[in-house]
Structure 1
Amino acid sequence: MRVLIIGGAGFIGCNLAAHHLDKGNHVILLDNLSRPRTHHNLDWLHRKAQSEGRADHLSFHPVDIRDFPPLRRVLAETEPDLVVHLAGQVTVTKSVLNPREDFEINALGTFNVLEAIRTQPRPPAMIYASTNKVYGGLEDVAVVLDGMRYRYRDYPNGIAEDRPVDPKSPYGCSKCAGDQYTRDYARIYGLRTVVFRQSTIYGPHQFGLEDQGWLAWLMIATATGRPITIYGDGKQVRDMLHVHDLIAAYDAAWERMDTVAGEVFNIGGGVTNTLTIWSETGPWLEALAGRAIPVTYADWRPGDQRVFISDNRKAERLLGWSPKIGIREGAQQLWDWVTANRDLFS
């Protein structure tokens, strides 16, 4: 099997690449290395492939998805069976500051990927990493404060795919455009595409930043003594999905591609794997670090959801998938990776 991972040097991409190398598959990485520290992940993958005698199973192409000709050329030359499209501008804050760049990367870039696939003699299947931000701020969904955390009043299983999309930021709009184009290319052109509206993904090799990858960022800041700002009251709830569970979902979609092409799935930790931004995470991190962690509070950010929990029941039904790694076990793995690699964050 030949897998093309677009955004392959990123956090999810490098974990997915390692997974397919372990399975003996040929892995083609495409990335413009614009995200800070992605070269560390690329170096790690090359070392892994070399040490395991699989250097010929890994190739890298420094291509930007906004540049269509080289993108199409890579697909034509490598002839992948599956494309996993992970590349993108990934933060709400940057999209507000530079909406044109956000659009060009997420909307136009995804259109370019789809066109590059469509014009191949043998179009590969594609999995697109979308986001729960396509649902917007969910202002009409009743949320109540229950002790130190928020919860949905009327959605005990979380938010399902029948929720109308209503993005509330340039980032949400651009990802929603890619989301809808990916779905429609299955309907109009018969491409085998699947959309994953992903919740908070975490795990090793995640170089989290303040505005994206929040759990990794809090751990990095704690381990390196950097200042921490909590936006809102810290009682916001997110469902947390370990990257290895996400990869299992990708595998499940690939194995069932002929029956699930054109489908959209909410993919997250679900109701059993939730964590607050700070009211629960803070004390736990203080216990890990063995010291008090000072934080500064700031205003809520636009479009910030007080709760997001993914209803995974469609994925359970059609993909036979559910998360296996609990939040405490997975977060401990992330902490161990961060503290073992402090030199990467200097």
Structure 2
Amino acid sequence: MTNLASSSAPIVITGGCGFIGCNLADRLATRGDNVLILDSLIRAGVRENAQWLKSRHGDRITIAVGDIRDPITVIDSIKPAKAVLHLAAQVAVTSSIDSPMDDFEINARGTLNVLEAVRLHNPSAAMLFASTNKVYGRLIGNDQIARNGQRYQPIDPAMRPGVSEAAPLDLYSPYGCSKGAADQYVHDYARVYGLKTAVLRMSCIYGPRQFGTEDQGWIAHFVLSALRGTPLTIYGDGCQVRDALYVADAVDAWLAVLDGIDAARGRVFNLGGGPSNAISLLELIDLITPLAGPVSFGFADWRPGDQPWYVSDITALNRATGWQPRTTFADGLRSLHGWLAERFAQASGREALA
């Protein structure tokens, strides 16, 4: 196992002021690592996350404002790094459909900038990439799923343990294409150039520090809508299923791969909550109601690339690192609700005083 903590060189996190990135930065700094965050600070909530990190860790965390589309900025950040966790991305399918060129430049070209900076200037550094389950496309046709109560499930029982890394890629939507291209570049740079890369294809990660929107972070978005009393739009019929993973468990997985990179290099792993943490949109609403009150919602057409059912098979990651989720969905949802309710109350108080 690689002892990354033995060096004072920083671990670079691109997009480190985002939801998962700031939780990773917090954990790394807490265990004694120096962290350099490269973030454009253009998304909602990231400046608040940046202030939170600095208030907790001071000089152990350095925040560099920059864009991964600028190769010089990327090189300057990565040259001194002992590892790179690459999470900076355009994250919304809807935005990719509206602006496919921007989506490509950030997700595909930006990732290639990171890889080239590692290859040419710091080839001994580990590099982990935040990929997505969207690289698998829709996965399952309407004739291959059946409705069971408020959720879909595959008719074929062999699929119910989840989708493994052996599933063929079917890049659907510009977002799926850009992330899929980046995913394959990261995988191939381990094979062709011998870099210490690994890919984590993530399902639905949720938890504190997540500022959910309709386009990204749907669990937090549903909770926030209930707290605010604003109606939701459900695209599709609400029976679509995802496996959800609490962010602290996701951080555990990232660090397990990072610290074990000598064995994990060149590997691709699905990262999610697995079958025991799978939930449909309608089921989530039923769980939110006792916590945050009634949820008002309506329906709209399915969106391009929407998956009626996706559950991660996390066996490969467990076998490689020993990792497995520890937080039940009920416990994780209570934690997320508590954080959002406190922050929402504080924000309402500030507005009332203004």
TM-score in terms of structure 1 length: 0.95
Percent of residue pairs bearing the same amino acid type: 45
For the aligned residue pairs, the C-alpha RMSD in angstroms reads 1.3
Q: CA deviation at 1:286?
A: 1.6
CA-CA distance at 1:148 after TM superposition: 1.2
**Structure 1 equivalent of residue 242 of structure 2:** 238
Aligned AA for 1:59?
T
Query: How much does 1:140 deviate?
Result: 4.3
The aligned amino acid for 1:329 is: D
What is the alpha-carbon distance in structure 2 between the residues aligned to residue 201 and residue 44 of structure 1? 20
Partner of 1:87: 88
SS at match of 2:164: coil
Change (3 A) 1:121 1:43: closer
- The residue number in structure 1 matching 2:35 is 27
Map residues 184-333 of structure 1 onto 2, 5 A cutoff: 184-277=188-281, 279-290=282-293, 292-333=294-335
Residues 16-51 of structure 1 show CA distances to partners (whole Å, capped at 9, x for unaligned) of 1110111011011110011112100000001111xx
- AA aligned to 2:66 is V
The secondary structure found in structure 2 opposite 1:315 is helix
Of stretches 8-17 and 153-162 in structure 1, the one that deviates more from structure 2 is 153-162
CA shift digits 1:67-109 (9 cap, x unpaired)? 0011101222xx1211100010001000000000000000000
Mapping for residues 24-103 of structure 1, pairs under 5 Å: 24-49=32-57, 55-76=58-79, 79-103=80-104
Task: Kindly provide the amino acid, as one letter, of the partner of residue 315 in structure 1.
Answer: L
Where in structure 2 are the equivalents of 1:167-182 lying within 5 Å? 167-182=171-186
1:344, distance to aligned residue in structure 2 (A):
4.7
Question: Quick check: 2:39–2:64 contact (8 Å CA) kept in 1?
Answer: yes
Q: Is the 8 A contact 2:140 2:309 kept in 1?
A: no
Which AA in structure 2 matches 1:19?
R
1:110 aligns with 2:111: yes
User: Which secondary structure does the structure 2 equivalent of 1:196 belong to?
Assistant: strand
Q: CA deviation at 1:255?
A: 2.2
**Structure 1 CA distance for aligned equivalents of residues 17 and 55 of structure 2:** 13
d(CA) in 2 for partners of 1:138, 1:85: 26
Counterpart amino acid of residue 38 in structure 1: V
The size of the alignment, in residue pairs, is 337
- 248-257 vs 119-128, which moves further: 119-128
Structure 1 letter corresponding to 2:317: A
Q: Deviations over 1:270-306 (max 9, x none)?
A: 00001111x211122221124x322111111111111
CA distance in 1, matches of 2:347, 2:103: 27
Q: Distance in 2 between matches of 1:27 and 1:255?
A: 15
SS at match of 1:337: helix
* Amino acid in the other structure paired with 1:82: A
Three-state SS of the structure 1 residue aligned to 2:121 is coil
Match of 1:128 in 2: 129
Q: Residue in 1 aligned with 2:11?
A: 3
Give the equivalent residue in structure 2 for 1:52. none
Structure 2 gaps of 5+ residues are none
Give the number of the structure whose residues are more often helix, by fraction: 2
Preserved contact between residue 14 and residue 38 of structure 2 (Cα < 8 Å): yes
Write the letter of the residue equivalent to 2:186: T
Task: Say whether the 8 Å CA contact 2:164–2:314 is kept in structure 1.
Answer: yes
Aligned equivalents of 2:340 and 2:141: distance in 1? Answer: 38
Note if contact 2:199-2:269 (Cα within 8 Å) is conserved in structure 1: yes
TM-score normalised per structure 2: 0.93
SS at match of 1:272: helix
Query: Quick one: which amino acid aligns to residue 244 of structure 1?
Result: A
| Cα distance in structure 1, aligned partners of 2:201 and 2:155 | 22
- Partners of 2:140 and 2:160 lie apart in 1 by 17
* Distance in 2 (alpha carbons) for counterparts of 1:172 and 1:40: 29
Between stretches 172-181 and 65-74, larger displacement belongs to 65-74
